[in-house]
A and B are shown apart, each in its own frame.
Chain A
């Protein structure tokens, strides 16, 4: 009888990328060579599993208390043991009435935790839901992974605090290097719609009369690959927004059967400024949930004014049984988008342990 390690190896050895997938990547590598650049790495999206919150929640910086209130409040409750490693930075930039400040940094070997605050000096554009909307970048002269997430908000000063965590690859000390953190836009006024009942009578869902071929821009689900062939699939032709859909910022633009499957379509206008999104699911009389079979997205047009992002959820429930289900969904929307140009360059200094 084989041991687990042998069984596992036997199983996982059969897993490998298919030739087409590998060729696709190799072609990208080949074409990428022509554009080879040695500029410093820049991340637009968080790529590290964020773990530093717990670490940095256990730090305190009394010396910053008066000048950097949100950071102080964030750290107030915890041990001062590592406070000596945090250095005040307090370099700031202001644009469009919003001030971005690098409050403090903690360098430990090849890792850095940096607190950034953003404060609205003139209005209410910063709130407890402010999201940098993947628009930030962290430029540094070493190979590393970085992430940024909101860790606090102070209502009184309208200041949101973000934690940037950077880990250099290779165990090289990073103290002495400079990094630049910049932000070009953010969204706020986020609202969560969790597990809401959608007032649609599913028993009236009929076979769709108006359908069209669309180019899918992405999707998911177990049957996604089965029904999206060479990037194309069949969707409902969007109709006028239906009344009574309870999510502001997302419209219900279609519901009907195509090929024996229930399609439900939503639309968001100018979503690059909002990131409104969500998903549907069904519940039967017992409250049991039926997840979608697959989902896909498509656009009316690309980067032009008037862009509409459509999402279509598809359920594998026969038409004659759909009346036994109730439609539910969970969604996230935002109501405000702010643009600007905030950029701070600062040195990574290691504090001397006392």
Chain B
């Protein structure tokens, strides 16, 4: 069930419930492991609770959530322990083999491609919105998406939907 739209003065609990899935899914898309997604999820919302940032509108708040999720997963990934110690086997219990295969396939992609794939195909963000959220040039995001699609060509089925915005 889709949550109700937020209002600017909504309490932190409501905001967290609203963005919980978005943050967690992006964290998972980036890291590919449940325990890392758990860690990033907590870090993002603890920062939100601690800093209580003020936003002009909901788009602004969503961008903040996305950016902080990316930052937190960067931090996790850059840790010297993680670099060597984190294999990609802590997977979600997906319903079908097709889902598991797709998840595994995506984990073969570089991290920067996975986040672009996720934001483009799942969050339905335009290249411009992604470039703003990730603080990357529009052309960089376009190239990353193109390369990610090339790497995934075995599972991508080109259609108008896939071509959206490219």
Question: In the complex, how many residue pairs between chain A and chain B have their CB atoms under 8 Å apart?
Answer: 162
- Bound complex: CA A22 to CA B16 (Å): 8
Q: Is A277 a contact partner of B80 (Cβ separation < 8 A)?
A: yes
- Bound complex: CA A33 to CA B12 (Å): 8
Total contacting residues, chain B, CB less than 8 A: 68
**In the complex, residue of chain A having the shortest beta-carbon distance to the beta carbon of B60:** A170
1/0 per position for B127-147, CB-CB distance to A under 8 A?
000000001100000000000
- Bound complex: CA A225 to CA B35 (Å): 8
B87 interface hit (Cβ, 8 Å): yes
Give the residues in chain B near A221, CB-CB below 8 Å. Answer: 85-87
- Bound complex: CA A158 to CA B12 (Å): 47
Q: Is A7 a contact partner of B70 (Cβ separation < 8 A)?
A: no
A294 interface hit (Cβ, 8 Å): yes
Q: Quick one: which of B25-44 are within 8 Å of A by CB?
A: 25, 28-29, 33, 35, 37-38, 41-42
Q: Is A279 a contact partner of B155 (Cβ separation < 8 A)?
A: no
Q: Quick one: which of B91-122 are within 8 Å of A by CB?
A: 92, 94-95, 98-99, 102-103, 117-118, 121-122
Give the residues in chain A near B54, CB-CB below 8 Å. Answer: 143
Total contacting residues, chain A, CB less than 8 A: 56
Q: Is A14 a contact partner of B71 (Cβ separation < 8 A)?
A: no
Give the residues in chain A near B64, CB-CB below 8 Å. Answer: 143, 169
Q: Is B99 a contact partner of A1 (Cβ separation < 8 A)?
A: no
- Bound complex: CA A2 to CA B42 (Å): 34
Give the residues in chain A near B80, CB-CB below 8 Å. Answer: 277-279, 330, 332
A51 interface hit (Cβ, 8 Å): yes
Q: Is A5 a contact partner of B121 (Cβ separation < 8 A)?
A: yes
Give the residues in chain B near A346, CB-CB below 8 Å. Answer: none
Q: Is A17 a contact partner of B24 (Cβ separation < 8 A)?
A: yes
B159 interface hit (Cβ, 8 Å): yes
A212 interface hit (Cβ, 8 Å): no
- Bound complex: CA A49 to CA B46 (Å): 19
- Bound complex: CA A294 to CA B103 (Å): 23
* Minimum C-beta distance from A297 to chain B (A): 9
**In the complex, residue of chain B having the shortest beta-carbon distance to the beta carbon of A1:** B157
Q: Is A47 a contact partner of B162 (Cβ separation < 8 A)?
A: no
Give the residues in chain B near A25, CB-CB below 8 Å. Answer: 16, 20, 41-42, 45-46, 49
- Bound complex: CA A210 to CA B67 (Å): 46
Q: Which 10 A-B pairs rank lowest in CB-CB distance, beginning with the nearest?
A: A29-B12, A11-B99, A32-B49, A143-B53, A17-B24, A170-B56, A220-B85, A221-B85, A4-B156, A25-B45
Q: Which of B's residues lie within 8 Å of A, judged by CB?
A: 11-13, 16-17, 20-21, 24-25, 28-29, 33, 35, 37-38, 41-42, 45-47, 49-56, 60, 63-64, 67-68, 70-72, 74-75, 79-82, 84-87, 89-90, 92, 94-95, 98-99, 102-103, 117-118, 121-122, 135-136, 152, 155-157, 159, 161-162
Q: Which of A's residues lie within 8 Å of B, judged by CB?
A: 1-5, 7-12, 14-17, 21-22, 24-26, 28-30, 32-33, 36-38, 41, 45, 47-49, 51, 143, 145, 167, 169-170, 172, 219-222, 224-225, 277-279, 281, 291-292, 294-295, 330, 332
